[in-house]
């Protein structure tokens, strides 16, 4: 299993540009989520999904959209990038059995100039 994969690893955007951060998992997990981490801070939840076709907002959803058309993929779209969205973005997935352990991807480092 590849686990949770994220692309790209690094991205630089200009203010106002849009882009999609990709996240995929091959563990057939129902639950997926997106977090952002600013320097010196803990992770903050942006959006999450408890299954295909179901998404909901987390703590800091403004400026981001998500969709979940398949179990495997959970892309995060930045609609109009702003410097305040400069951050490291982590995707995570979990099943609903056992430890409910969340598996995190390696992150995407985004800079908005």
Partner 1 sequence: DAKTTQPPSMDCAEGRAANLPCNHSTISGNEYVYWYRQIHSQGPQYIIHGLKNNETNEMASLIITEDRKSSTLILPHATLRDTAVYYCIVRVGWGTGSQGNLIFGKGTKLSVKP
Based on the shown chain and the rule CB under 8 A, indicate whether residue 50 belongs to the binding site for partner 1: yes
Q: Which stretch binds partner 1 (CB under 8 A): 18-26, 69-77, 78-86, 104-112?
A: 104-112
Positive or negative torsion for Cα 30, 73, 104, 36: negative
Decide whether 17 or 104 has the Cβ nearer to partner 1: 104
Chain-centroid distance, C-alpha 26: 16
- CA distances in angstroms from 40 to 14, 45, 55, 79, 88, listed in the order given: 24, 16, 28, 26, 11
Q: Which stretch binds partner 1 (CB under 8 A): 14-22, 62-70, 71-79, 99-107?
A: 99-107
Q: Which stretch binds partner 1 (CB under 8 A): 9-17, 43-51, 62-70, 79-87?
A: 43-51
Q: Out of 8, 18, 28, 96, point to the residue binding partner 1 (CB under 8 A).
A: 96
Q: Is 26 strand, coil or helix?
A: coil
């Amino acid at each position: 299993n590849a686990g949770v994969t994220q692309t790209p690893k690094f991205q630089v955007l200009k203010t106002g540009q849009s882009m999609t951060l990709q996240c995929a998992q091959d563990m057939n997990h129902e639950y997926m989520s997106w977090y952002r981490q600013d320097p010196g801070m803990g992770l903050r939840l942006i959006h999450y999904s408890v299954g295909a076709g179901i998404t909901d907002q987390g703590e800091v959803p403004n400026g981001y959209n998500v969709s979940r058309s398949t179990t495997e993929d959970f892309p995060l779209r930045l609609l109009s990038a702003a410097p305040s969205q400069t951050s490291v973005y982590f995707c995570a997935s979990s099943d609903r059995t056992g430890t409910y352990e969340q598996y995190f991807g390696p992150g995407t480092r985004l800079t908005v100039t």
